[in-house]
Amino acid sequence: MVPTYRLGLAGCGLALVTALIPALQGKAVPRQCRGIPLILHSAQAAPDHETSVFDQPITGSEPAPSASVTAHDAAAPASGDAVLIALWLDGRPSATRHAYEADAAALLACLGGVPLGRATLADLQAFAASLARLAPSSRARRLAAVKSLFSFGHRIGWLPADVARSLRLPRVKNVLAERILEEAEVARLIALEPDRRNHALLRLLYLAGLRLSEAAALHWRDLRKRGAGGQVTVFGKGGKTRAVLLPASLWRELAALRGDAPDEAPMFRSREGGASGQLSPSQVHRVVKAAARRAGLDGAVSAHWLRHAHASHALDRGAPLHLVQATLGHADLKTTGRYTHARPTESSATYLVG
Catalytic residue among 92, 141, 307, 308: 307
- CA–CA dist 217, 203 (Å, integer): 16
Beta carbons within 8 Å of 301's beta carbon, 6+ residues apart? 181, 189, 288, 289, 292
Q: What angle do CA 88, 93, 95 make, to 5 degrees?
A: 100
DSSP letter at 349? G
Tell me if residue 304 is catalytic: yes
Q: Which of 147, 237, 308, 313 is catalytic?
A: 237
Contact 45, 141 (CB under 8 A): yes
Reduced to 3 states (helix: H, G, I; strand: E, B; else coil), residue 7 is strand
Distances in Å between the Cα of 329 and the Cα atoms of 131, 178, 179, 239 are: 32, 22, 19, 11
Alpha helices in the chain (DSSP H): 79-89, 94-111, 121-130, 136-155, 183-191, 196-207, 212-216, 248-258, 281-294, 303-316, 321-328, 333-342
DSSP string, 226-239: ETTEEEEEEE-GGG
CA 231 to chain CA mean position, Å:
26
Q: For the chain, what's the residue count?
A: 354
DSSP state of 34: S
Active site residue 339: yes
C-alpha atoms less than 13 angstroms from C-alpha of 250 in its C-beta half-sphere = 22
Q: Out of 141, 147, 188, 211, which one is annotated catalytic? A: 211
Query: Do the Cβ atoms of 92 and 16 come closer than 8 Å?
Result: no
Per the annotation, the verdict on 211 as an active-site residue is yes
Other Cβ atoms within 10 Å of 350 Cβ, number:
6
Residue type, 22: P
- Residues assigned a catalytic role: 211, 237, 304, 307, 330, 339
